[in-house]
Copies of this chain bind each other. A is one copy, B any other.
Amino acid sequence: MGALLKGEEGPAVLVNEQGRSPYVLICEHASNRLPKSLGNLGLAAADLQRHIAWDIGAESVARLLSRLMDAPLVLQRYSRLAYDCNRPPESPDAMPAVSEVTEIPGNRNLSFAERLARIQEIYRPFHQAVSEVLDTRAAQDQKSVIVSIHSFTPVYKGKTRKVELGILHDRDASFSSTLIKRFSKVDARLNEPYGPKDGVLHTMNLHAAPRGLKHAMIEIRNDLISSERGQQTWAQWLSVPLIQAAAAFSRR
């Protein structure tokens, strides 16, 4: 490890790597942990518990889904405030100086070396790990559908969001638009509360599109999965339509 992680663990956490599900799960915003060398980025402890640091509840839901569906899962070990792995290095949001309306002092005026260390030690090895999981499956002709698990804040910049479940896609809508039909009991919407124009489909554009793989990015409103019970309910409840959709998909 280089200057940033200094002997700390690498950024990619692999769970159930040999899982036999058609799904490969990704959770870029699983954690609010910061590399020790970054301190607290100048933020109060309470800020590091907020949505700006991570997707609240997403890791639990992703781990439960991985178990329920026997799916490999790649989790990011560090907070998106260190590097947002759902953004390319070219994006100002990759290492945001302001997140939502909160200034991130430790991300102001980063030097070339600081930016490069974040890219090389957090972004690149995380996506390398995802690539390797997909490469191994491709080598054995195992079909993959990429699903990422996210959560969103119920109030964003003062505005309340009603949508409970977002199913997001970019160019290839086929899987997402099939999947959403299986969610009739909640307020589920395609490409809400944000979509490709907001630059949030990076992981899918990096891993799904160039391989011709189907994809869906799942966004759950975080008040619904902030408790353990909510996480279990939602994981259970997401797994059924996902398993059905995969079966329907592989029959075609």
Contacts and interface: CB of A to CB of B under 8 A. Distances in A.
Given A210-B202, A210-B205, A211-B89, A135 B139 contact: no
Contacts of A116: 135-136, 139-140
A115 interface: yes
A243 to B, nearest CB: 22
B210 A138 contact: no
A20 interface: no
Nearest to A95: B139
A33 interface: no
Interface stretch (A66-74, A124-132, A181-189, A225-233): A124-132
Given A171-B171, A206-B206, A211 B124 contact: no
A45 to B, nearest CB: 30
A134 interface: yes
A112 B88 contact: no
A134 B124 CA distance: 11
Interface string A136-169: 1011100000000000000000000000000000
Q: How many copies does the complex hold?
A: 2
A112 B140 contact: yes
A120 interface: yes
A43 interface: no
Interface in A201-219: 202, 205-206, 209-213
Interface string A93-127: 00000000000000000001001100110011000
Given A89-B211, A90-B213, A116-B139, 16 more contacts: A88-B210, A89-B134, A89-B135, A89-B138, A90-B138, A90-B211, A112-B140, A116-B135, A116-B140, A123-B135, A128-B128, A171-B171, A202-B210, A205-B210, A206-B206, A209-B209
17 contacts: A88-B138, A88-B210, A88-B211, A88-B212, A89-B138, A90-B211, A90-B212, A112-B139, A112-B140, A115-B138, A116-B139, A124-B131, A128-B128, A205-B209, A206-B206, A206-B210, A209-B210
Interface of A: 88-91, 112, 115-116, 119-120, 123-124, 128, 131-132, 134-136, 138-140, 171, 199, 202, 205-206, 209-213
